[in-house]
Amino acid sequence: MNSKNLLYFLIGLTLCVSSCVSNKKLTYLKHEGELKDEVVYDSVYRTTPSVPLALNTIRPFDQILVEVKTVTPPEYNPFAYVENVAGNNVANIQHPEQGSLLGYTVNENGYVDLPLIGKIQLEGLTFSQAEFKIKEILNDMMDEPAVRIKLLNFRYSILGEVSKPGIYGTFSREMSILEAVAKAGGVKEFGDRAKIKLLRKNGQFVETIYLNLNEESFINSPYYYLQQEDVLVVLPIKRRPTLEYVQKNVSIVASVTAMLVSIVTLITVNR
């Protein structure tokens, strides 16, 4: 190979390496054909029905915070002094983000022991239904009670190719998979957005579901919303070792190639 052909070869190698790195496309919630056409901004492309919220229900061993607001003076509202309530049903919960919180534990039979009310069965009720049930009882004991229940031990885990893997908690009754991923800092460069593994408890079994966050149709998925104790695993793309190696070493390759091109050019010019 003469010096001129070597020069062309080195230039081509540099362009090839740069192309391999720059041609990686990241897509989120794409729709077929949408990326090929020019996007017209400030216009409605599609209207999609929202996914019905899978309402979480109260289960045995849930730990709940019961807040009662009323015009009755605080000294007659035992819910304002939950830390002073004796009994095994009052638990000190370590929330992943809110720190130490005090709440009530639902026993194995689905009952919870509350001040003034005593034992009341809440298992199988949604949080709105449980709030209404408690409010109906307190109407005869307090003036205009307002009841709010929060689940203290709603936790989910995110592992794998995200910026901040770990265990998270939320007081929200409606949290999507997309929000959970965003809370963990998003999927990293070499994470496979088309293959997110979801591990979900269903009775005595654990279901394994694969989700594709690249497709817009995911917003209609029955698994769009998180459930308690869900585990999300963001898997790496199959080409990760190759791409990671190329990305880490492309600057070295480019520098060496440029130096060789300069040397070959000088040799060619000086002949």
Q: Which candidate, 190, 153, 185, places its Cα nearest to that of 171?
A: 153
Q: What is the pLDDT along the chain (271 residues), one digit of tens a residue?
A: 555 555 555 555 555 555 554 444 556 666 665 555 666 677 776 776 767 666 788 989 888 988 888 887 877 777 765 544 444 455 555 555 555 556 888 999 999 998 888 999 999 999 999 999 999 999 988 888 999 998 888 889 999 999 999 999 888 778 899 999 999 999 998 899 999 999 998 878 999 999 999 888 888 888 999 988 899 999 988 765 555 555 556 666 667 777 777 776 766 666 6
Given this model, what pLDDT does residue 23 score? 46
Residues 6+ apart with CB under 8 A from 81: none
Task: Give the CA count within 13 Å in the CB-facing half-sphere of 170.
Answer: 18
Calpha distance 261→181 (Å, rounded): 45
Given this model, what pLDDT does residue 10 score? 54
Residue 184, SS3?
coil
Calpha distance 224→178 (Å, rounded): 8
Residue 248, SS3?
helix
Report yes or no on whether pTM surpasses 0.75. no
Quickly list H helices, 112-239. Answer: 127-138, 177-183
CA separation, residue 178 to residues 67, 169, 187, 219, 226 (Å): 29, 15, 10, 9, 9
Calpha distance 176→151 (Å, rounded): 17
Given this model, what pLDDT does residue 71 score? 84
Calpha distance 176→226 (Å, rounded): 5
Given this model, what pLDDT does residue 93 score? 52
Task: Give the CA count within 13 Å in the CB-facing half-sphere of 209.
Answer: 21
Given this model, what pLDDT does residue 158 score? 96
**Phi (first) and psi of residue 229, to 5 degrees:** 70, 15
Q: Report yes or no: 146 and 135 within 8 Å, Cβ to Cβ.
A: yes
Q: Which candidate, 117, 142, 141, places its Cα nearest to that of 130?
A: 117
Given this model, what pLDDT does residue 230 score? 94
Given this model, what pLDDT does residue 73 score? 80
Residue 245: its H or E element? helix 240-269
Tokens of residue 271, six digits = 């002949």
